[in-house]
Amino acid sequence: MTAMLEIKQVGKSYGKQEVLGSVDLSVQAGEIISVLGPSGCGKSTLLQLIAGLQQPDRGEILLRGKLAASRSAMLAPEKRGINMVFQDYALWPHMTVFENIAYGMRRSRQDQAGIKASVAELAALLRLEGLEQRLPPQLSGGQQQRVAIARALATKPDLMLLDEPLSNLDMQLRVEMRTEMAYLFKKLGTTVFHVTHDPEEAFSMADRLVIMREGAIDQIGTPQECWRRPASASAAKLLGAGNRLEVMGRIGGGVSVGEAKLAGVWPGQLAASNAEGPAQLLFRPDAADFQPHVVCTSGEAAESAASLEPAWERNRLPVHVVHSVFEGKGWRVLARTSDGQPLTFLHHRPLAAGDEGLLTISPTDLYLYPILEAN
């Protein structure tokens, strides 16, 4: 089957700055792709290349198997069967909701009755009924965003490009809208290429997630795969593994942090999994379970508990508490390892500065990467 979109070794520079190195990616019809990456990694540039608003310096972009862009070829944006929703919606402020949605259909000279019927259908689909005669400034952010989607859907594009479509909305509306959007596009069978810096937005939309860093793709997989096995330290950090400890040891075997020995997974290339030396260990604050040191009146009980399993298998990391902050659902605790490295974890009650205990972290939640890798 011909892919809807193929990006082949595409590169782009602005002046001396290389913004995209060599990007390879293909998108099937009906698929929703979310590109996730920090600000400045080249997401919008990639969208503009697909839309035809920029021309690649290297490589090729194919739409439905046909060349749309290369260094020497450039299909006009309006001939690509693509529509785009921008971060700021880019609605025409002097046109009503009706006129905004009808704009593309008018340009393609559809008849008046057909346009009216289509706008009514889209207004119903996007819950904009009754707002057709309003101007964009008279709408809430969420409504404006839905008008932008309706307008983009109106010309029945083969491919929808979404550039941070929810980042101008407040948090609660963002959560609502991303769920609605994912449902809508799946129901319509729209092929979507969506870019965002927000992991939760990417997860809720994506069939396949593409993690980008500095103009290159770090990982492609289902959201679940990427979440469980981030391919690089920077992907792990992007996906919530905010704790980073520098450790020594064998990545494929186990590592040490101060006195503690820990086993973890190394989700990157297996060839280097036995690499010796300094490594970085990343984990999410909610993956660590804290237990305070129990002062045993009977030293015997403490000893027998400790001898049950070697420290290695228990995957326990001694920490001392620095500070706790209330976060609603629980407390976020700032602590340090015995060799002085800072980390945070979540706990169900506040802990006091100076409290000591053990953090238990499952080996499958500890991600190890060679330290040579840039963050």
The option from Mg ion, ligand ADP, none interacting with 34 (CB < 5 to 8 A, set by class) reads: none
Q: Count other C-beta atoms under 10 Å from residue 236's C-beta.
A: 28
Give the residues lining the site for ligand ADP (CB under 6 A). 14, 19, 37, 39-45
Q: Which is nearer to ligand ADP, 38 or 292 (CB)?
A: 38
34 contacts Mg ion (rule: CB under 5 A): no
As measured in angstroms, the least distance from the Cβ of 128 to ligand ADP is 28
Q: Which is nearer to ligand ADP, 239 or 247 (CB)?
A: 239
Q: Which is nearer to Mg ion, 163 or 365 (CB)?
A: 163
Please state the three-class secondary structure of the chain as a single string.
CCCCEEEEEEEEEECCEEEEEEEEEEECCCCEEEEECCCCCCHHHHHHHHHCCCCCCEEEEEECCEEEECCCCECCHHHCCEEEECCCCCCCCCCCHHHHHHHHHHHCCCCHHHHHHHHHHHHHHCCCCCCCCCCHHHCCHHHHHHHHHHHHHHCCCCEEEEECCCCCCCHHHHHHHHHHHHHHHHHHCCEEEEEECCHHHHHHHCCEEEEEECCEEEEEECHHHHHHCCCCHHHHHHCCCCEEEEEEEECCCEEEECCEEECCECCCCHHHCCCEEEEEEEECHHHEEEEECCCCCCHHHHHHHHHCCCHHHHCEEEEEEEEEEECCCCEEEEEEECCCCEEEEEECCCCCCCCEEEEEECHHHCEEEECCCCC
Q: Which is nearer to ligand ADP, 19 or 97 (CB)?
A: 19
Q: Which is nearer to ligand ADP, 196 or 337 (CB)?
A: 196
Q: Cα 96 to the chain's mean position, in Å?
A: 34
As measured in angstroms, the least distance from the Cβ of 281 to ligand ADP is 28
Binding Mg ion (rule: CB under 5 A), the pick from 44, 83, 144, 280 is: 44
191 contacts Mg ion (rule: CB under 5 A): no
As measured in angstroms, the least distance from the Cβ of 197 to ligand ADP is 7
The option from ligand ADP, Mg ion, none interacting with 230 (CB < 5 to 8 A, set by class) reads: none
The option from ligand ADP, Mg ion, none interacting with 14 (CB < 5 to 8 A, set by class) reads: ligand ADP
The option from Mg ion, ligand ADP, none interacting with 264 (CB < 5 to 8 A, set by class) reads: none
280 contacts Mg ion (rule: CB under 5 A): no
Q: Which is nearer to ligand ADP, 47 or 358 (CB)?
A: 47
45 contacts Mg ion (rule: CB under 5 A): no
The option from Mg ion, ligand ADP, none interacting with 19 (CB < 5 to 8 A, set by class) reads: ligand ADP
As measured in angstroms, the least distance from the Cβ of 34 to ligand ADP is 13
As measured in angstroms, the least distance from the Cβ of 202 to Mg ion is 14
In whole angstroms, what is the distance from residue 43 CA to residue 49 CA?
Answer: 10
As measured in angstroms, the least distance from the Cβ of 215 to ligand ADP is 7
196 contacts Mg ion (rule: CB under 5 A): no
As measured in angstroms, the least distance from the Cβ of 188 to Mg ion is 25
Nearest-CB residue to Mg ion?
Answer: 44
In whole angstroms, what is the distance from residue 35 CA to residue 47 CA?
Answer: 10
Which residues of the shown chain bind Mg ion in the complex (CB under 5 A)?
Answer: 44
